[in-house]
Amino acid sequence: MGKTAIITGGGRGIGRAITLALAQKKFKVVVTYVTRRDCCEQTATDVRNLGCEALVVQADVTKRESVHQLISTATEKFGTVEVLVNNAGILQQKPFNTINDEDWDTMLATNLKSVFLCSQEIMPVMVRQGGGSIINISSSGGQLGGMLAVHYAVSKAGVISLTRSLARVGAPDGIRVNCVTPGLIETEMSQKEIHSEIGQQKIGKEIPLRRAGQVEEVATAVAFLASDEASYITGQSINVNGGLYMG
Average pLDDT, the chain: 95
SS3 133: strand
Helix and strand element counts for the chain (H, E) = 10, 7
pLDDT value for 170: 98
Q: What is the mean pLDDT of residues 209-222?
A: 96
Q: Report the percent of the chain where pLDDT is more than 90.
A: 87
Among candidate residues 164, 149, 247, 240, the one with its CA nearest the CA of residue 198: 149
Q: What is the pLDDT of residues 186-211, one digit of tens each?
A: 988 777 778 887 778 889 889 999 99
Note the helical H segments in 63-174.
64-78, 101-108, 114-129, 141-144, 150-170
Length of the chain, in residues: 247
Query: What is the pLDDT at residue 191?
Result: 79
Question: Taking a C-beta distance cutoff of 8 angstroms, is the pair 244, 209 a contact?
Answer: no
For the segment 124-180, what is each residue's pLDDT rounded down to a tens digit?
Answer: 999 999 999 999 999 999 999 988 899 999 999 999 999 999 999 999 999 999 999
**pTM for this structure?**
0.95
Domains present along the chain, CATH in parentheses: 4-187+214-240 (3.40.50.720)
Mean pLDDT of 117-123: 98
Render pLDDT for 83-107 as a digit per residue (tens, 0 to 9).
999 999 999 999 999 999 999 999 9
Query: Within 10 Å of residue 168's Cβ, how many Cβ atoms?
Result: 11
Q: Taking residues 233-246, what's their average pLDDT?
A: 97
* C-alpha to C-alpha distance for 134 and 226, rounded to whole angstroms: 8
Catalytic residue among 33, 152, 232, 245: 152
What pLDDT is stored for residue 1 in this prediction?
57
- What is the amino acid identity at position 217? E
3-state secondary structure (DSSP) of residue 195:
coil
Q: Name the DSSP letter for residue 89.
A: -
Taking only the tens place, the pLDDT of each residue in 52-84 is 999 999 999 999 999 999 999 999 999 999 999
Is 245 catalytic? The answer is no
